[in-house]
Amino acid sequence: MEEKEQVKQIVNEIFNIIEDKKGNDTVIIKFNPDITTICDYFVIADADSERQLKAISDGIQREIKTKFHVRPLHVEGEQSAQWIVLDYMDVIVHLFTPEMREFYALERLWADAEQLTKPIN
């Protein structure tokens, strides 16, 4: 499988896991590689409680490891569970409480990048 195709499949799987676990307002930000080299995609969502954020994070890590044999390079924020970051190198997942999402406003910060509200084709 081509590397970039696998990245898209991982993004879509993460999107679907968030939706299945009742995450809110999931957005995929696709970066232009000519402009930004941070990663290829952000996946951003929020949840109604810290417990739900942790469940979403755990579900993502378990399913991505099972289906793609990939673990995040780094996980941050699971202790406080107000903003959890899962770094899969090409894909960075940001899971917020609604208040933290509004405060950091990543969608506005990256407003010039393509933003999707459904899985990638």
> Are 91 and 12 contacting, i.e. CB atoms less than 8 angstroms apart?
no
Res. 65: pLDDT tops 70: yes
3-state secondary structure of 48: coil
How many angstroms separate the CA atoms of 88 and 117, rounded?
A: 20
pLDDT at residue 1, as a whole number: 52
50-68 vs 3-20: helix axis angle to the nearest 10?
140
Neighbouring CB atoms inside 10 A of 24's CB total 14
Q: What is the pTM of this model?
A: 0.93
> Are 49 and 100 contacting, i.e. CB atoms less than 8 angstroms apart?
no
Higher pLDDT, 2 or 40: 40
Segment 91-111, tens digit of pLDDT: 999 999 999 999 999 999 999
- Average pLDDT of span 56-61: 98
How many angstroms separate the CA atoms of 61 and 6, rounded?
A: 16
pLDDT at residue 121, as a whole number: 80
Structural domains of the chain, ranges and CATH numbers in brackets: 3-116 (3.30.460.10)
